[in-house]
Amino acid sequence: MSNSYGKLFKITTFGESHGAAVGVIVDGCPAGLEISVDEIQHALDRRRPGQSDITTPRKEEDRVTILSGIFEGKTTGTPIALVVNNKDQHSHDYSHIEHAFRPSHADYTYTAKYGARDYRGGGRSSARETVARVAAGALAAKLLQHYGISVQSYVSQVGSIKLRKPYQELDLSQIDSNKVRCPDGATAARMIGLIEEARDTLDTIGGVVSCVIQGVPVGLGEPVFDKLHAELGKAMLSINAVKGFEYGSGFEGVKMRGSEHNDEFYTDEEGNVRTRTNNSGGIQGGISNGQDIYFNVAFKPVATILQPQTTINDAGEEITLKGKGRHDPCVLPRAVPIVDAMAALVIADFLLRQRVNKV
């Protein structure tokens, strides 16, 4: 089982949903980066459960402890160990699925692959693992900030309710101004209403998180197998419940002619090479071109629903199963900081790789 990501800025996560703790080892973070526990905690607070009535009521504080690699507020260049203890566990909520395969969960595939599984919340397959990614992502984001690079994600669609404005017309400082994390108040209100409707009918709903990365220098990414957009896609598709990834013009680009889609080059007043449009999404030939990188990530409806469903148990017998416990009716508000984290980790890794790529 691969639990690591990155080549130079490398993370290894550990822990299970109902184990003692989850955590991460970050190796390769340069020395001298100023980072406080409060900055890491802020990222975790955006992901933690119990934030509002449209997220799971589970009350995990998700307090992070720094075990190594940071001294007097600065990274030392040695491995950074971060751990978050699990506290509000209701493992008994999962006793009814000890032998059952929940629809659209990893229960069957984990059992088939390993011959065993931790049925308490899904164990390693649980989205609880993303706590570690968000903690590591806070370090990556601080490194990017040092180089003038920002990563901002927001909810752009819930079910059929879609934010129609492009990111250039949005005030991204308003992302956290509402509980669904959509930077447009009117659209956010409609999204919240739809999530509440799904919750009240014991159902769930999916949607889309959009991400914008600004300030990326030209040259990040590799030309063949480690294309920048391929790594971003891999990182996003590794997040629980993600079903799709598109960058730049994405699937809408197929409706255009080449004469419309091509991004023409020009030189601005400062002598920088720019493009008049950005259908490429800031990446050409797998390498960043200095324009904004933007992409969309599709999340399916949360698989655990509080309605009866037909499935089978590990003996192959047909059974009726009904979800229990505390679950999100929509994962999107808490997925925003996870998308932020994975995007920051990808860019941080490529940033360090580019520094050793030429004299």
Is 46 labeled as ligand-binding? no
Is 304 labeled as ligand-binding? yes
Do the Cβ atoms of 138 and 39 come closer than 8 Å? yes
The alpha helices in 253-316, defined as continuous H runs, are: 258-261
Q: What's the distance, Cα to Cα, between the start and end of the chain in Å? A: 37
Is 102 labeled as ligand-binding? no
Is 188 labeled as ligand-binding? no
Do the Cβ atoms of 257 and 241 come closer than 8 Å? no
Is 85 labeled as ligand-binding? no
For strand 21-27 and strand 80-85, is the pairing parallel, antiparallel, or unpaired? antiparallel
Is 262 labeled as ligand-binding? no
Is 155 labeled as ligand-binding? no
* CA pair distance 250, 76, nearest whole angstrom: 41
Do the Cβ atoms of 131 and 47 come closer than 8 Å? yes
Do the Cβ atoms of 358 and 244 come closer than 8 Å? no
DSSP letter at 111 equals: H
- Closest by alpha carbon to 43, among 173, 170, 130, 125? 130
- Closest by alpha carbon to 182, among 159, 200, 213, 148? 159
Is 272 labeled as ligand-binding? no
Is 183 labeled as ligand-binding? no
* CA pair distance 148, 67, nearest whole angstrom: 28
Q: Give the residue carrying structure tokens 């598709």.
A: 237
Exposed / middle / buried, residue 9 (Cβ in 10 Å: 0-12, 13-18, 19+): buried
Is 326 labeled as ligand-binding? yes
Q: Cα 41 to chain center, whole Å? A: 16
- Closest by alpha carbon to 283, among 235, 249, 320, 331? 249
* CA pair distance 61, 212, nearest whole angstrom: 28
Exposed / middle / buried, residue 326 (Cβ in 10 Å: 0-12, 13-18, 19+): middle
Is 47 labeled as ligand-binding? yes
Annotated binding site for NADP(+): 47
Annotated binding site for FMN: 124-126, 240-241, 285, 300-304, 326
Annotated binding site: 47, 124-126, 240-241, 285, 300-304, 326
